[in-house]
Amino acid sequence: MAKISVFGIGYVGVVSAACLARDGHQVIAVDVDPGKIKSINAGLTPIVENGLDELIENAVKAGKLEATSDVQYAIDNTEVSFIAVGTPSAPDGSVGLVYVTDVCENIGKALANKDAFHSVVIRSTIVPGSCETACIPTLEEFSGKKAGVDFGMGYYPEFLRESTAIEDYYDPGLIVFGAMDEGTARILTDINKDLPCDINVVDLRTAEMVKYCSNTWRAVKVTYANEIGNIAKACGLDGQKVMEILTSDTKAIVSKYFMRPGFAFGGSCLPKDVRALRHLAREKGIKAHLLEATLEANEAQIQRAEQMVMESGANKVGFVGVAFKAGTDDLRESPLATLAGRLIEKGIEVSIYDPYVQEAYDSHTPGAGRGNDVIPNLQGRIVADLDGMINDAGALVVGNVYENTVERLSEAAKTRKVVDLTRFSKELTSDGTYEGICW
């Protein structure tokens, strides 16, 4: 069992402290509010949350939980400190770090007087890079010690929902944390090891980013549901009924298939259906902000890829894949075809390796090249020799993954410009010669 101090007796801090104490850890809650301190030491909850009053009462009676305003006492009597103070928006909309850095300053001063190794773990919601640019420098300045060497450092976001926080704590959908040192990683792993969820150990910035992605994704889902509800009502339909049926589809709607960063969406369904629903909304006098933004963002992703290719300076570009996805010869509204067409218009010589489109032409399928209205002389640009195309091209655009291409493309990425729109190998990240569109 660990000895843990929790700084900030707000919603996240007090729930975390109570649950940690229930699990057998020795917990000291720290705050500047004497009312909250008095409440906890009396075995009472300072906030309203289902089941929390009983947890705190039992933890205090068992001697597992106490509260104080004495920072030095908390640091001296624990081995790890969780910072769970608020990060309200600054006037310009940026994350407000003043409470976090104030606590870091106080902890840093206390660490200066402690010889034993101590870990500091941020639980507050902070944007990627905040630990490195604000928290760590503050701790190092006031402690005179080095993060990851003289004291431990980690970022461990919470995903607790008000009114179901205790349930969420013990049945999490996601556990992720970043740690600079093995000691901090070990403590956080031990705290979570018995929970029914995979533990993701990453770097500090990735953990910070995951927290923001989780919260903003929830906001996007609420906005989407509201937008669909508004359109449905304008059509005389029950928006909640529509969404209840939609979300019963766990194969596509709730799956991770479409949550993979990469290139723009295309094909015979998604582009036209988003446009059609947007048009219906306009007819009904409904402002479909999210649908409008979806089409704008999709076009922007194509433009982003175009810019990446143009910046390579290549006059000859080889495409690996041109159909809207691998495994088909369908070019209807393929963003890869759109990209190729735009490059051709700019005078760039484009050749294409796509085994499925080639198969359609070779077998004289009546629908060969179906959906293409942007690439001139498509059949003449199709090549069967991948190695020849790689050697001849100044840059390569990888739009679809074909198993037989991965090894050769990985080798090519060492010597020539490769713009990867799909991520044919998870071993590669942008490094100059190789450039992924989202990684």
pLDDT tens per residue across span 206-244? 999 999 999 999 999 999 999 999 999 999 999 999 999
Beta bridge partners of 81: 5, 120
pLDDT digits (tens, 9 = 90+) for 137-154: 999 999 999 999 999 999
For the purposes of burial, counting CB atoms within 10 Å of the CB of 381, is it exposed (0-12), middle (13-18) or buried (19 or more)?
buried
Look at residue 413 in the predicted model and tell me its pLDDT.
96
SS (H, E, C) 362-395: HCCCCCCCCCCCCCCCHHHHECCCHHHHHHHCCE
Of the residues 197, 213, 269, 438, only one is catalytic, namely 269
* pLDDT band of 255, cuts 50, 70, 90: confident
* pLDDT band of 252, cuts 50, 70, 90: confident
Look at residue 404 in the predicted model and tell me its pLDDT.
95
Look at residue 253 in the predicted model and tell me its pLDDT.
82
Look at residue 328 in the predicted model and tell me its pLDDT.
94
Q: Tell how strand 395-398 and strand 434-436 pair up.
A: unpaired
Q: How far apart are CA 152 and CA 150, in angstroms?
A: 7
Mean pLDDT lowest for which of 39-48, 89-98, 173-182? Answer: 89-98
pLDDT digits (tens, 9 = 90+) for 291-330: 999 999 999 999 999 999 999 999 999 999 999 999 999 9
Q: Catalytic site residue 438?
A: no
- Computed on alpha carbons and rounded to an integer, the radius of gyration of the chain in Å comes to 27
Look at residue 97 in the predicted model and tell me its pLDDT.
96
Look at residue 309 in the predicted model and tell me its pLDDT.
98
For 145, the token pair is: 């010690």
* pLDDT band of 198, cuts 50, 70, 90: very high
Sheet with strand 349-353: strands edge to edge = 349-353, 316-320, 395-398, 417-420, 434-436
For 82, the token pair is: 């969780």
Look at residue 90 in the predicted model and tell me its pLDDT.
87
Q: How far apart are CA 188 and CA 177, in angstroms?
A: 8
Mean pLDDT lowest for which of 86-100, 250-264, 414-428? Answer: 250-264
Sheet with strand 3-7: strands edge to edge = 65-68, 26-30, 3-7, 80-83, 119-122, 152-155, 175-179, 199-202
For 138, the token pair is: 């503050």
Look at residue 243 in the predicted model and tell me its pLDDT.
94
Look at residue 207 in the predicted model and tell me its pLDDT.
98
Look at residue 256 in the predicted model and tell me its pLDDT.
83
* pLDDT band of 251, cuts 50, 70, 90: confident
* pLDDT band of 394, cuts 50, 70, 90: very high
Q: How far apart are CA 315 and CA 97, in angstroms?
A: 48
Look at residue 432 in the predicted model and tell me its pLDDT.
84
∠ CA(123), CA(127), CA(129), 5° rounding? 100
For 289, the token pair is: 């902000």
Mean pLDDT of the chain: 96
